[in-house]
Amino acid sequence: MEHIITLHVEKLPEGFYLATSDDIQGLVAQGRTIQETLEIARDVARKLLEARSTANGAVDDQLPAAHDRFDYPLVVAT
């Protein structure tokens, strides 16, 4: 099952991007670009959810499921 989580992404003074989430405790990802940061955040989220489901024996039902339609903010550089 796919879940939707909200990420907070900010550009650090050093030029890197940092992603955190209030939805998944412990999710922290850093990358050189927004795309790289999002890819790392996806991998970290997957691992944290897998570890949580292994420890609890169940998938986290508190996260909303991804449905056939949802809003996605697209970042476009010009």
- 62 vs 24: CA distance, rounded Å: 10
pTM beyond cutoff 0.95: no
- 21 vs 35: CA distance, rounded Å: 16
Strand order in the sheet with 8-11: 8-11, 17-20, 28-31
Predicted pLDDT of residue 12: 98
Is 13 strand, coil or helix? Answer: coil
> Which range has the worst mean pLDDT, 11-20, 25-34, 51-60, 62-71?
51-60
Residue 63 pLDDT > 70: yes
